[in-house]
Every structure is written in C-alpha cells, then in structure tokens.
Structure 1
Amino acid sequence: MNWVIQENKFCEEQISRMGNRMLCGNGYLGIRGTQEEYRKEQMPAINLAGIYDQVGSGWREPLNAPNVLYTYIAVDGKKYALPETEPLKHRMELDFRHGIFSRETSFRTDRGIVTVRSERFACKDEVHRIAMRYSVTADFHAEIELYTGIDGDVWDIHGPHYDTLVSCEEQGVIRMQGVTHEKGDTVDVLETVAADFPCEQHLVTGEKEILRRIAFVTEIGRSYCIEKTAVVFTSKDRDWDLQRAHGTLREAKAAGYDALKEMHCRKWEEKWAVSEVEIDGDEEAMKSLNYSIYHLLSIAPTHAANMSIPARGLSGQTYKGAVFWDTEMFMLDFFLFTDPDVARSLMKYRVDTLGGAMEKAVFYGYEGAFYAWESQEGGFDACSDYNVTDVFTGRPQRTYFKDKQYHISAAVVYGIMRYTQITGDQSLLQEGGLKTVIECANFYYSLLLKRAVGDCYEIWDVIGPDEYHERVNNNAYTNRMAKFVFQSAAELLKNPEWKARIEQEYPVDELVRRFEDAAAHIYLPKPDKDGIIEQFDGYSHLEDASIDEVRGRLLHEKEYWGGAYGVAAETKVIKQADVVTMLNLFPEEYEPEILKKNWEYYEPRTEHGSSLSSCMYAMLACKCNMPRKAYPFFMNSASADLKDGGREWAGLVYIGGTHPAAAGGAYMTAIEGFGGVSAQDGTVRTAAVLPEGWNRMKFHICCRNIRYAVEIGRQGTNIMEEGNVHSDAL
C-alpha cells in the first residue's frame, strides 16, 4: 500500500483543506499542513492540547503557539513566497506512515529557477520537539537571503491571545514567550538552526517576530540545507522549564536531523505494529482506513494521564478545542483495542472533571453531574447560548446545545463502563469512576417526569443527536441512554465491593431502589405497526419532505438547517443518526427485522450534516447483514479528511478541521462491523460480514491485557494470542 498522499499543484482556495489533510501531530501539538512562508491569513498553526484562553466576549479556544517554522527566501533582494508569488511547480505530500510532511516549490526569477524543499515532523518520541530540514537550490548563481525564525503574529479565530510577546537570542538559540490574556499562562518556543554551508547570519527582529537572516550565493545546482530543531512547552507542563528545553535542543542539534527522524519513525512503527489494518482486495479502503487511523494516532495524548481529544483533534481552534461526546462514542473503541493507556487517559479526564459537571447541574437546577457539551479544562463548558450566526441578520442565534443535550452524561458513563468491560481494569472505578456513574444517574433521575395519569417516567425538552430538532420530548436515544446509566449505577452499587467503598457517602440501598425503578419504568417508544420507532414525541406528524426538497428551500448556502427557523425543523429530515445510533448500541433488544426497517426508514430522511452519522448507518447495516449498503457509509467516514466537500460553515461560523470521530467510526465499522469483533467477559469473538471484494482482514486488538492477532477471511477466522500488553494502567 502507498502510504503517501500528494498534491501536485498549488490552489489558493484549497489552503484550508490542505492544512487539515496534511496535518502532523503527536498528541501534544498538531502542525497544520501549510507552507513555511504562510502568515496568519493562510491559517498556519501549531495547535496545543489542553491550554485555552479567552479574549473579551469572544469564544474561549485553545492556543496556537508562535510559529517556529516560519521560513521564506528572497532572491536578488526580491521575496519569493506562496501565495503571493505564482509558483512554476509545486508539490506537497504527507507520509502518513511516519507523520512526515514535505513540499517542493519552484519559482521563476528574473535570472533563473529557484527551488525550495522542506521536510518536517512533530516528534513522536519527544512530543515537545519539532524538526525541519529546509533547502534551496538554483540553476544560476543566486544571491539568496533565507529568513527563518519565529512568527508571533499567529492565526486565531477569537484572539489575539498573547497580550505580550517577548523574544531574545542567546548562544545561538532563538526564544519567544507569549503571555496569555485571560490567566497569564505562558507558551515558550525555542529554536536552533544548523547550516551545512558558509553563510552570513544576522538577527532580524520585529514587533511580533524574531528571525535569522542567512545570506549566501549559490553554486549552480547545489542544494543549500538548514536543519531546524524546536521545542515548545507551556506553563501547564510542570515537568518542563527553560533549562530542560535548552538541554533538549542541544541534544537534538548534536544528534542531527537524520537521527531525530530515525527515532521518530521507529516510534511510529511501534504504533503501527498494533494499529494497522490490512485489507486484501480493496486497496482504496485499506489506504483510507489507515489514513484515518493515522489521524487518531497523531492526536492521542500519550504524554498525559488524564487528557481527552477535542472534536477537531489538533487541527486548529475550531469548536473551541473542546471535548464532545465524540470521544466516548466514536474514538474510544480504537484506543481500547490498540492502546488501553490512552483509553484510560480519555476516561480519566472525565472522572477528573466531575466537579465541573456537578457545578453545571446545580446551575441548571438539577442534581448529580451534567457534563459539559463542549468541555475544556476542569470540565468548564465552553458552549455558548448562541452557537450559530444568522446569515441574514448577522446576529447570534439562540441554540440549546449547552443546556438541552442531556445525552452527554450518558456518553461518559458508557465510556467508563466500556473501558472497564474490555480492559478488565477496575482502577478507573476506584479512582472516581464509580462516583461519576452514580452522579450521572442522579442527574438523569432529577430529569424524570411522570404524568398524573401515567405510570412511566419521561424526559422532556431535550436535543438528541439529531440537532435539527430542538427541545423535543422523549427522544428515543436520550431515554435509552438514561436507562443504561440507571442500570449501570444499580449494577455497580449492588456489588459488595463497590457498596463498601461508597456507603459512607451515599445511601446505597435507596439509590439502588431508585435507579432500578427508573430503569424499569422510563418511557421507551416501541415500534409502531410498521416497525418504526418514533425518534421523539410528535416526529411522525412532521412534514415528510425529501432532503432535496428541504435543501431547495434554503435562501443562503450557509444557512443553518436547525433551530426555530431552520428549513428542517418542521420536517422529518434529521441531521444525523439518532434512533439508528440507539439501535446500533442495543441491537439485542430488537428483532432483526426492526433494525432493518428503521435503517431503511431513517436513512433517506438523514441529511448526514455531521461526519458522525455515516458510521452508525454502516455499523447497523452490518448488524442487518447488509455489507453492500454499509460499504459506502464506511468509505464516507474513512475518507472524511481525504475527499473534498464536507461542511466548513454553520451559519457564519467556521467549523472546518479534521474529523477524528469519523476516523474512529471508520475503525469501528471495519473491526466491529465488517469484522464483527466483540469482547465479552475477556473473550474475543467475531461474526464477520465482509464486503464484496474483501478477501481477508488482518489486525491486532487488545482485550484484558492480552494482545491478539486476528485474521478474518472468507473461509473463517483465526485469533491468535500474542502476549501481554505493556500497560502502566493494567
């Protein structure tokens, strides 16, 4: 399989998409696939995990570090740089086996042709470090000025976030420190450069930049190369300081670029040894799937014990760098099966932000834990009451994502229970997970309503996964997930070991009675005479317009489909899988024909306005033994960051970036859908439904601290135990 994606032309309109598509990352930082000479207008970014800032009334968002890769050339005194200079030739590529971005660009000058080449990566073995090689070649004796250093005038969506930028040079190291507006957090960026040729070097400083001017005259056809090593750390990194940063730079410079690259690639190979999926018979699917896995590996917080993954990964500040339900419901399984330590970190983040969830519940008048819809550090909910801008008036539009998407707390419980089940590791429950489950159950119990003449509990005024219909009653998915939370809490509390741990803090017997009663009597819509489960009360009475009809009612291409005045709000057209997601999670509760009927009913009515949607239809199609119908939805997920198109705007709000939830959904579809893999009570089972043309799948999975090699073919399945997983947690 070819592990390279390539772009062989320059197109200014594609700068944003290429930045996402060719992202390099290591979990600590993500480097957008942009050219070294780009300024903030072209959206370059070194996006940092877990550190945020807010300026004025703008949205709180993650920080982009000062751009330590900023580099450009001048030839005979004239600057040559994209996008302002038209290139003669341009190529860029990403080796997604090893997370290495490279480019080659030729410019025609007054006296001949000059070519710049670069290669860079976010070090996988030392996540604070970045390495780059940059070279210049000319077919004439060119007078070259190569400028390289740190650009502090960074791209921000709701910035600028650095109130002050301080730069200096000391013993060949350039340093810039940014101090944030909100809390005075600091971001330090240091770089050092080695040149393999005689040159003149001078320091050039500006208000927001500090650069080296490297001047030389080329020999015809000779390549002039610099090697740059950089270190990024913040005030959040308690084990990092200036002394350690300088030491790391010295070691890296002494080792040289090739040695750094070798160590980096070796670390990537370790990851692929347990993550790669081989598909015999469909190279396009295999490449798309492994490219999706690359993005998950690029944003995995391997450096942290309690950090999660934002909805847009580390591709920028979109969605405020916040953690959504995407992590638990779409990404978690990949890490459970390939790197349980990372899976634990994702869920430990939720356990450690329980306090924020309980504060949110109190604010809205509820009990227990109401988790943030857009979670930042400490569980702070970054979600605004006005998340969409009306395209006609330019005014913020009231949305209810923050206060009515109750299913987020259930996603947290689902993740905790699934982690415990697949890994067998009880420590997460011991370290706060048990309390988290109980408080989420308390939250849902405080939501329950009962009619004076009714005998069941209901949950009103919610938004389900389908965000086009707001403030509905008895959303099927939300109610079923609430039941799951009640059942999980009751099951844990009836266990003598867990009861003994918690009975000094909670009235255990009363909670068990309460949660079992709630689970037994919560309202769940039953299939109607045609086998269809109503998504929420009154859904069946909405206008049954087609997606094309509804799209035809748009007056503006960026108009939001949902909300009070959205074109889909009074129709049966939904944004993404809702009932289908519920059926995918609990298929054993329904007859196979019910699963199929609901798939066939809801799919034509689903606009798939979210990249989360396709994988749920793909997985349910597999459960209905319809691999042919599942396949295009699988490919939609697997190629979400490879193909053009996709929604980049919600109203006037930019929402572009990578799609790690779709990547996780592609993995789930391949392994759990087509492969039929399940892990129950420590036993790995398969029930494969391979698509047409797939002769064989090969992959590895972890379960209960054992790693297995799995091979699924047309003639059967072979599962081989390979040994223990080396895990700190297990």
Structure 2
Amino acid sequence: MMDYSIGKGNYENWILGENNFSSLHLGKTETVMLLGNGYMGLRSANEEPYLSERRNLFINGTFNQADKNEVVELPNAADATRLDILIDGERFSLEFGETENYSKQLNIKDAELIRSFSWTSPEGKKLQFRFSRFVSFAHSHLIGMKMELKCLSGAVDVSIESGINAQMTNSGVQHFLEGDRRIWEDRFIQLVQTTTQSGIDFVHNTVHTLKLNDEEITAEANKYMERRKVWMSYKFRIEQGDNFELEKLTTVHTSRDKESDHEHYSLAEMQEQSLRELKDFDKKGYERLRESHRLAWQENVWDAYGFEVESENPDDQLAIHFSLYHLTAMTPAHDDRMGVGAKALSGEAYKGHSFWDTEIFILPFFIYSNPDTARSLLQYRYHGLPGARQKAAEQGYIGAMFPWEMAWPTDGEVTPEWGDIDIVTGERTKIWAGLIEHHLSADIAFAIYQYVNVTGDEEFLEQYGYVMVFETARFWASRFEWNEERERYEITDVIGPDEYKEHVSNNAFTNYMAYFNLMLAMRYAEKLEKENPELWKSLVRQGDHADWQSKAERLYLPEPRNEDLVLPQDDTYLELREIDLDKYKKQTKARTIYRDYNPEQINGIQVTKQADIILLFFLMEQTFLKDDPRFSKEAKRANFFYYEARTLHDSSLSLSTHAIAASEIGARELAYSLFRKTCEIDMGQNMHSSDDGIHAAAIGGIWKAAVFGFAGVRQTDGRLMINPRLPKEWGRMQFSIYWKGEPLRLDITKNMLKISAGSEKAVQVETAGNVHEFEHSIEITLTD
C-alpha cells in the first residue's frame, strides 16, 4: 500500500512512500516514482532484479521502427541501474530472508528516490541497506546512484556486479544493433548502441566509486563483456559495524541531441566528449552533483511555481506537488522537435507517442506557468506540418491533417492498426483513431489561440501559428461533405473524444471545433492582412477566405433539444438504447464494460467513455463563441448532469474536465470528489493502476482542476477572468501564473482574491462580471 503521510517538517506533503515490499506490485512505484528531466525518463525499478519488474530508460525523441510490421516507438535504452548482489555467495533478494522497516520513497521536493530496509539473510546475517538515485535536473545527461550497506551482525562476503546492460527490449522487440564496448583505466565503462532503422547512436558511460567507513577503497574488480553488455564485479569483505558505499554515475548521450544532430557529427567525438564529461562528474562526486540537482529543482520549479494549498486533506497539497513534478519530468523543454507522450517517459504503453493529450490537458499548465516551454511544444507540432500535409493528401484532402499519434515530427501518422481482443469474436480489434478521429487538427488550432491570447506572443503567430491555423482550416474545408437533401455541410464517419462511439456523424465536438478553426482562420487572415500584408500574401491563398466563410456558414452545428437543452453528442446518440450503467460507474478498473460488450455493441448504447460534450462547453467558453446561446449557463448545467450520468471516465483524460464543469455550475461537493478521483488515478491505492506508465493527461488534469476549476482562472477571447470557487475543504490557495508576459501571484481565500503583479504594467482582470485594472496589486472581496 502507498503511504502519503511520511513527510515531516520541511518535507511535509512532499513524500510518496511505500512501506511494504511486494514483488507482485512493483509497477506502481516504478511508475509514480519515476525520475526524469525531460531529456530522459528512468522508471524506478529496484536495484536488485525481480521477475515482474519493468526496467525502462527512455531518451526523448529517439524513435525507431524495429521492423516493417512493428510500430515506431521510443526504444528501451541500455540499463545501468541493476545491481546483482551476492551476500556470502547467495543472491540478495527481498523475496528471501526477512525484511524489516522497509521504505521506498520519492522525495518530490529533491527529486530523489530513496529506499531503505533491514534485511536478515536465510543464514541469519543482518544488514542495513539504503539506496538513493536521481536523474539530474542540473546536468540533463546524468544519472546518479548510491548504495549504502551496513553490517549489523558478523562479517559477510559481498559481491556486486554492476555495469551497462544493453540486452533490453521493448516487450521482446530489440531496437538496437550491437555496438562498441570498452573499459577505460579500470574504472570508466563505455557502451555504444545504434537504433536499427532510425540510425541514432547512443553512448552510455558509467563509473563506480567504493568507500568503506567513509574512506575510498579499491576492491578486487573483475571486468566482463558479453553480447550487448559490459560490467565489473567487485568482491570484498565487511566486518560487523562497517559501512560500505558504492556510488555510480552514468551518462547518456545520443546523436539526436541538438548539440550532435548536425552534418559534422562524429560518433568518435561524442564518445570522447561524453567520457571526458563523466570524468569531470567523477571528480565532483555524488554528493555535490546531487546537491546541484536539488538546487536546480528548487530554483527552476518550486520557487517558480510556488503552488500552496491549505486543505483539510493534506493529500491535496501532495497531489499538486505530484502534478508539478511529473509535468516537469515528462516535458522536453530543451528541444522543440520533441513532444510529450501519453505515458510520458514512464512506460512502453502508447509507444512514447503524442496525442491530443498535450494540447488540451498538458499544454495549459505551461501556457500559464512556463510560456517558453509551451511555445516549444507548439513548435513541435509546427515541425510536424509536412507529415500532417501528407496525411491529408493520402486521405484525399488538402491542408494539414495532423497525425492522431505523432512521434518524431517527420514520421507522420504512427497509430497502430490493431488493438485489444474483441470479447465476442475473439479477433483483434481495429484501431480506427488514426483514420477517423480528426478533431486533433482543430484542437491544435485552439491551443495556438489559447497560447497567443495568454502570452501575447505575436512573433510565434508570424513564424509558426498562422500557417498551422490556415492549413488546418484548409483541411476542414476540404473534409466537409455536402448533404444535398438538407442543404448543409456535415462531417460524417468520425470518432469524437468519446471513443466508445466509432463511425458516427456530426459529432458535436468535432463539428463545433472545426467551425471554430475556420472562424479563427478568417480572423487571423484579416488581422494579418492589416498588420503584415507581405506575410499575408505568402500564407493566404486566393479564395481561402471565401471558401472558409461559405463552409462555416453552412456547416451543420447540432442544436440543444428544446425540452431539456441537451446537445446531441452525435446524430444518433440520444436515440440509442439505455442500460443500467451502475456497476460500470462503480468499477475499480477502467474499461470493464468490455468484459460484457464488444465495440460494436458499445456503439449502440448510451454510454460515453470520456468527456466529450462537457469538454466542448469548457473550450467554447474560452473563445469568441462564448456568448452563443447554445452554450448558455442553463445549457451547461443540463448537459453536465445528462452526460455525467452516462460517462464512465474510462479514460484518465475525463475526470478533470468534469471536475471543472461541476465547479462552474456550483456543484462544489461533486467537483471536489471528481478532483480527488483525478488525483487518485496514479496516486490512489490501486496497486496496478499505473503498471503501464503514468497517466500524463491526468497529471495535467490535477493542475487544471485546481486552477481552472477551484481558482476559476480563464482566458476568454483574450481577457483574463478569475472567478474562484474553493471547495469547502480548501481554506486557501496560492500560485503564480503569467499573463501577457508578466508574472502574477494569486492568493485566494473563501472571501478574498489578492493579485500581485511582478511589474508596474497595468493589468486588467474580470471577476464576477466586474472589470478591475491595477498596477502593483489588488484585493477583491468575493461573494459566494
């Protein structure tokens, strides 16, 4: 079981802990205690090996396709974390002997993994173990590890095998060619591996330092090499009361790193430079490197975001820290050619691919908290324009149709063709998303609009944003189908956000988002023509504006039902049969409905996988369509209760959106409950919920539910609105955001909103319908 009450003093609400070892539940802590810095993600497998472990190291952007029948994915790189330990000639494992005072912790504040316990061997030898590990935030290529061993009863002979193991696979798929291996100066180990298809070189280096009773020692060391593996074996004897330490520093570099990805790249030069770098790290030592890593997190993350919550439930503050930690660890802020995977860098699931999760669930945090990183993530989509144009052309359209799953920008569409089993037929199910889930292109246009409105970054628009919005608008204009009988354009045969409904027509989310995309393109074209006629001529084609306007005016936009204001999710949803969803609403594991129905049967039931119509309301209220009567407060409330009853939240994307919506309509108790469920997707006590990796969108959803829901922060067509709705459990929340390039500090209580500006520029904010303008700070009294 997980324990979140461990942190004390300065570490209160900063510690994720596990106090009992179980070899059946390794995946939970391997995932939620992931170590990462955006460049790489290291799954927190234990040092000693276990049968059910998943030992993963992913380097962002290093995609490879192992064979023509395999999917492009992030390859599982060589492992340097495993230690094979022998105590008096017997393999050390917690599955044998007796273990006391077991603790495995992720110290979120210091971004350090710590594991400690007392262990008595089957022969009665008692030892105290402590392992620590970090992935450096100060030096992006560095991994630091330390093992401390104290002999508590009688002398023991210890053997430790440690090195670099490139025999790793992705669920059996080998992505690397055999490379060079060498041990330098009897200490420094180097191993090279190269991906089979993409030809990316990886250079791994590692070095060990041994200490006995705080004095550095030279133990007996044997050197070994096998296929795709090189290591050293240390043997020594420790007496009762002795303290032994092994420090291990590892670096990883690839030819895809920006500093190496150029025409003059040399593998030999990267080997030499990376080895020289490791030698410099070795001189500094583990403790100095760990401290620089800790300071980097403090200065660049915790001091920058400063998110504090006063809650009756201390886990709420921990959840906020958890969200900020993983959002930072998963995001490649260093390279705009890279995106964020649906499982971040924490597992093989979804292959490291980027989905709409980024734009709708992860990007908002960076837009408001770290605009430079937000810009980088949007530029990743810009680099993917050639693949988006190719996909559109292959399907008979024009413009840019962005891949549903995106890897390296030039890879294009990488969605797998086949998925899980059909419970009725026993066959594999077809994955249709890559072919007919089209709303992503409009989601990206929305993200550009949101980013520019919050940041005021006009340079981004000119260099990257305009062309993406215009190209996606061209796609939609070519995608619409004319219905002669009804004299309107429609969008047929799609999947909306609710992926339990395949091959539907006029999914409201898709139609309205496509409409927004066209309207935004027309607005941007008019703006560009006035402000930069030369650029306008190069980006806007003759006839574009007329085509967009004609298509937008005649596109079918579903209307709410007169009797209850419910907006049809698609043409047939409200006519489908209803069943008792109670057991699925109470499920402890997602997608249990597939045990009773196959996809075709689910398609015929009024059941929704995840936020669809509710998400549409949330996005539209941030745009120039906010005053459309179809999105009125009354309609929002009616749709929320109708669809919440039919939504199983079988995607981790869903709960946070419903939490925001519940907060907005005044259902504060329900909003808080949904917020807590969002936090518990990964932090909860289900010890198998995160086996396949972190739920990246839900991590972003924790921040969104707090900031957009409880704090009521929103950009609405370029205006800053703050309408707090704290749940009864929260007495106060404080955090920082950026607005038009200026830092703002928000301090919210039940009765007061205080905003402090970081400069003397005038700031406008709307609260409860009233517009306030201030320079340094302002206090606004809140009424419930």
Equivalent AA in structure 2 for residue 209 of structure 1: K
- Indicate how the Cα distance of structure 1 residues 33 and 353 shifts in structure 2: closer, same or farther if over 3 A, else same: same
Corresponding position of 2:204: 189
- Of 637, 640, 648 in structure 2, the residue corresponding to residue 607 of structure 1 is 648
Q: How far, CA to CA, are the matches of 1:66 and 1:338 in structure 2?
A: 34
Q: How far, CA to CA, are the matches of 1:538 and 1:318 in structure 2?
A: 33
- Indicate how the Cα distance of structure 1 residues 186 and 724 shifts in structure 2: closer, same or farther if over 3 A, else same: farther
Q: How far, CA to CA, are the matches of 1:647 and 1:570 in structure 2?
A: 30
Q: How far, CA to CA, are the matches of 1:444 and 1:525 in structure 2?
A: 17
Corresponding position of 2:549: 516
Does 515-524 or 323-332 show the bigger shift?
515-524
For residues 225-624 of structure 1, the aligned pairs below 5 Å read 225-240=245-260, 241-270=270-299, 271-282=301-312, 283-377=314-408, 378-390=410-422, 395-495=427-527, 496-508=530-542, 510-528=543-561, 529-548=563-582, 560=594, 565-587=599-621, 588=626, 589=628, 590-624=631-665
Does 235-244 or 535-544 show the bigger shift?
235-244
The C-alpha deviation readout for 1:205-263, integer Å capped at 9, x for no partner, is 33332222111111212220011111101121142522321222122111111111111
Corresponding position of 2:90: 78
Q: How far, CA to CA, are the matches of 1:634 and 1:307 in structure 2?
A: 30
Structure 1 unaligned blocks of 5 or more: 649-653, 726-730
Does 171-180 or 19-28 show the bigger shift?
171-180
- Of 21, 45, 48 in structure 1, the residue corresponding to residue 32 of structure 2 is 21
Does 248-257 or 572-581 show the bigger shift?
248-257
TM-aligned CA deviation for residue 95 of structure 1:
0.3
Corresponding position of 1:112: 125
Q: Is the 8 Å Cα contact of residues 357 and 379 (structure 1) preserved in structure 2?
A: no
Q: Is the 8 Å Cα contact of residues 306 and 347 (structure 1) preserved in structure 2?
A: no
The C-alpha deviation readout for 1:397-425, integer Å capped at 9, x for no partner, is 21211011010111111111111111111
3-state SS of the aligned residue for 2:457?
Answer: coil
Q: Does 1:37 align with 2:48?
A: yes
- Of 666, 680, 686 in structure 2, the residue corresponding to residue 639 of structure 1 is 680
Q: How far, CA to CA, are the matches of 1:685 and 1:535 in structure 2?
A: 28
- Indicate how the Cα distance of structure 1 residues 422 and 379 shifts in structure 2: closer, same or farther if over 3 A, else same: farther
3-state SS of the aligned residue for 2:190?
Answer: strand
Q: Is the 8 Å Cα contact of residues 682 and 704 (structure 1) preserved in structure 2?
A: no
Q: Is the 8 Å Cα contact of residues 38 and 44 (structure 1) preserved in structure 2?
A: no
Q: Is the 8 Å Cα contact of residues 423 and 595 (structure 2) preserved in structure 1?
A: no
The C-alpha deviation readout for 1:424-480, integer Å capped at 9, x for no partner, is 112222223211111100111111122213233211000000001101000000001
Q: Percent identity at matched positions? A: 28
TM-aligned CA deviation for residue 104 of structure 1:
1.6
TM-aligned CA deviation for residue 158 of structure 1:
5.5
- Of 17, 20, 28 in structure 2, the residue corresponding to residue 9 of structure 1 is 20
3-state SS of the aligned residue for 1:189?
Answer: strand
Corresponding position of 1:127: 140
The C-alpha deviation readout for 1:128-166, integer Å capped at 9, x for no partner, is 111111122222210111221112222413611123143
Equivalent AA in structure 2 for residue 585 of structure 1: L
Q: How far, CA to CA, are the matches of 1:70 and 1:397 in structure 2?
A: 37
3-state SS of the aligned residue for 2:358?
Answer: helix
Q: Is the 8 Å Cα contact of residues 60 and 158 (structure 1) preserved in structure 2?
A: no
Q: Is the 8 Å Cα contact of residues 13 and 317 (structure 2) preserved in structure 1?
A: no
Q: Is the 8 Å Cα contact of residues 25 and 687 (structure 2) preserved in structure 1?
A: no
TM-aligned CA deviation for residue 678 of structure 1:
2.4
Query: How many residues align structurally?
Result: 717
Corresponding position of 2:63: 52
- Of 183, 199, 208 in structure 2, the residue corresponding to residue 169 of structure 1 is 183
TM-aligned CA deviation for residue 115 of structure 1:
3.0
- Indicate how the Cα distance of structure 1 residues 558 and 187 shifts in structure 2: closer, same or farther if over 3 A, else same: farther
Equivalent AA in structure 2 for residue 382 of structure 1: V
Q: Is the 8 Å Cα contact of residues 65 and 189 (structure 1) preserved in structure 2?
A: no
Q: Is the 8 Å Cα contact of residues 26 and 52 (structure 2) preserved in structure 1?
A: no
- Indicate how the Cα distance of structure 1 residues 583 and 688 shifts in structure 2: closer, same or farther if over 3 A, else same: same
Corresponding position of 1:150: 164
Equivalent AA in structure 1 for residue 325 of structure 2: Y
Does 137-146 or 466-475 show the bigger shift?
137-146
TM-aligned CA deviation for residue 632 of structure 1:
1.2
- Of 209, 212, 216 in structure 1, the residue corresponding to residue 232 of structure 2 is 212
3-state SS of the aligned residue for 2:350?
Answer: helix
TM value normalised by structure 1: 0.94
3-state SS of the aligned residue for 2:160?
Answer: strand
The C-alpha deviation readout for 1:558-616, integer Å capped at 9, x for no partner, is 77479964552210011001111101112433221111111101111011100000011
Q: Does 1:179 align with 2:201?
A: no
Corresponding position of 2:79: 67
Does 418-427 or 562-571 show the bigger shift?
562-571
3-state SS of the aligned residue for 1:120?
Answer: strand
Equivalent AA in structure 2 for residue 25 of structure 1: G
- Indicate how the Cα distance of structure 1 residues 416 and 543 shifts in structure 2: closer, same or farther if over 3 A, else same: same
- Indicate how the Cα distance of structure 1 residues 566 and 83 shifts in structure 2: closer, same or farther if over 3 A, else same: farther
TM value normalised by structure 2: 0.87
Q: Is the 8 Å Cα contact of residues 27 and 691 (structure 2) preserved in structure 1?
A: no
3-state SS of the aligned residue for 1:64?
Answer: coil
- Indicate how the Cα distance of structure 1 residues 295 and 112 shifts in structure 2: closer, same or farther if over 3 A, else same: same
Structure 2 unaligned blocks of 5 or more: 1-11, 261-269, 762-784
